[in-house]
Amino acid sequence: PELGQLVNLQKLLLDYNRLASLPAELGQLANLHELRLNDNILTSIPAEFGKLVNLHTMQLNNNKLAAIPAELGQLVKLQELTLSNNKLTSLPAELGQLVNLKTVLLKDNPLTSLPAELEKMKGILHYVGHITFENTSTQKIDAKEAFRQIAELMKKLESQMA
């Protein structure tokens, strides 16, 4: 059968497969709870992944992702989102809608900005492992100011969790 027809599939583990792209049909796997795509060569994620409404875990570490689709903000049951070691320079504001997230890993990405909407993510236990700030041709970030803003955000999150 076609991959999109596996409607009862709950786990899809495709780590270490050198996948460069993903079929949009994966968005049809409505009962999927866990999606692991670590250690591939993905450069993008289909917007259709926003239809994986029962997804609890999405792991996309060690790929070549430069952006993630705003549609991931529709994954309201998502509890774990790991995006370490990619090429992300920013995150969509829509991720602030993921109020059930407990773990977000963004280690080793050249992030230049974080949306203020992330304050809504009250359940985060592990927000950022390591952020590298790189100047881009369109925007210069004062690293000192960025870290001050992250510290403020962390204080807000901690007080909301208490």
Give the per-residue pLDDT at 130.
37
- Give a three-class secondary structure readout of the chain: CCHHHCCCCCEEECCCCCCCCCCHHHHHCCCCCEEECCCCCCCCCCHHHHHCCCCCEEECCCCCCCCCCHHHHHCCCCCEEECCCCCCCCCCHHHHHCCCCCEEECCCECCCCCCHHHHHCCCCCECCCCECCCCCCCCCCCHHHHHHHHHHHHHHHHHHHC
- Domain hosting 10: range is 3-161
> What would the mean pLDDT of 71-95 be, rounded to a whole number?
94
CATH number (domain holding residue 60): 3.80.10.10
Say which residue, 134 or 118, is predicted with more confidence.
Answer: 118
User: Domains in the chain: how many in total?
Assistant: 1
Residue with tokens 């992702």: 65
Task: With a cut of 80, say whether residue 14 has pLDDT above it.
Answer: yes
Torsion of CA 76, 31, 103, 86, to 10 degrees: -100
Task: With a cut of 50, say whether residue 23 has pLDDT above it.
Answer: yes
**CA separation for the pair 73, 49 (Å, rounded):** 10
Of 30-34, 38-42, 93-97, least confident by mean pLDDT is 93-97
Burial of 104 per CB tally in 10 Å (0-12, 13-18, 19+)? buried
pLDDT in tens, 48-79: 999 999 999 999 999 999 999 999 999 999 99
Tokens of 12: 């899809």
Q: Is the entire prediction scored with pTM above 0.75?
A: yes
Give the per-residue pLDDT at 64.
98
Tokens of 72: 């991931």
Tokens of 60: 């996309």
> What would the mean pLDDT of 93-110 be, rounded to a whole number?
87
Of 8-17, 33-42, 72-81, 100-109, least confident by mean pLDDT is 100-109
The model's confidence at residue 133, banded by pLDDT at 50, 70 and 90, is very low
